[in-house]
Amino acid sequence: MELERMAPREEWPDETEENDEKPEETPTNTCCDRFHQTISNWMLPSDLRDSYLERANCLPPPIFIILISIAELSVFIYYAVWKPQKQWITLGTGIMNSPLTYRYDKREEAWRFLSYMFVHAGVQHIIGNLFLQLLIGIPLELVHKGHRVGLVYLAGVIGGSLASSIFDPRKNLVGASGGVYALIGGYFMNVIVNFGSMVPLFGIFRILLIVLIVGTDVGFALYRRYIVHDTELQVSFVAHFAGAMAGMSIGYTVFTCFDKNLIKDPRFWICIAAYVAFLIFAALFNIFFFSAY
């Protein structure tokens, strides 16, 4: 009687089907994955994030920004220790005679138009620049790699010194603000153009953060220029402005070509042509017309 109450074999559950219905194991969401997710949210519009996350890794690491920051900090420490300062707010001793400092009376030494980025006027100056370039440069380099970030950074540095030599011709120059502002300018334009796809509230926060940072830094530059009168080296706001312009043109073009061949983008060549034309004009000005000022 017990056998009659058993269900037919056809109705028995299929063990194979049960095994097939087991959920697949999902990969673990590691700290590295969450870090890259955050980077993609800050640096890219929504339609490019998945493409970045598919190939995101820390190899190569953001080596350009890290090395340039170490070099700038090393030069600062060298001049601070080599000629001990009574205070480190302003390093007046030593850096005026540095072969790296841009000096208007030695502008024939062309390397100074680039090397001045390694020399800083004091603790506040070096900390401000290092903080900004690490905060913005590391995420940018993780997304766009070092050769692109380096191109934008150096374009801002050279553009800053050349613009200063034209519009502020009797002032010496130190600091990496031109390169830092190039990175800020490129990122700022990216946020503005892709505002709708970067979560509007989040986009507003980023814009306000950039305005706050830039306003504070420019305010410090104006303070050193017009209020502090006991220093030979004043931070040039012209270099800030020129660096930002380089970032808003070349930087914006480079940073919007995340998944594209930069060489095939006509916007890139237009920006490069305009930048080269500025370099030629600035070089001719410094060679032939500076003595008239």
Positions marked catalytic: 177, 240
Tell me how far CA of residue 265 lies from CA of 194, 218, 244, 257, in angstroms. 18, 33, 21, 8
Yes or no: say if 118 and 100 are a contact pair by the CB < 8 Å rule.
yes
Phi and psi at residue 21, in whole multiples of 5°? -85, -5
What is the Cα–Cα distance from 265 to 277, expressed in whole angstroms?
Answer: 19
What is the Cα–Cα distance from 222 to 228, expressed in whole angstroms?
Answer: 9
What is the Cα–Cα distance from 142 to 11, expressed in whole angstroms?
Answer: 57
Residue 160 per-residue DSSP state = H
Pull the structure tokens for residue 9.
């074999």
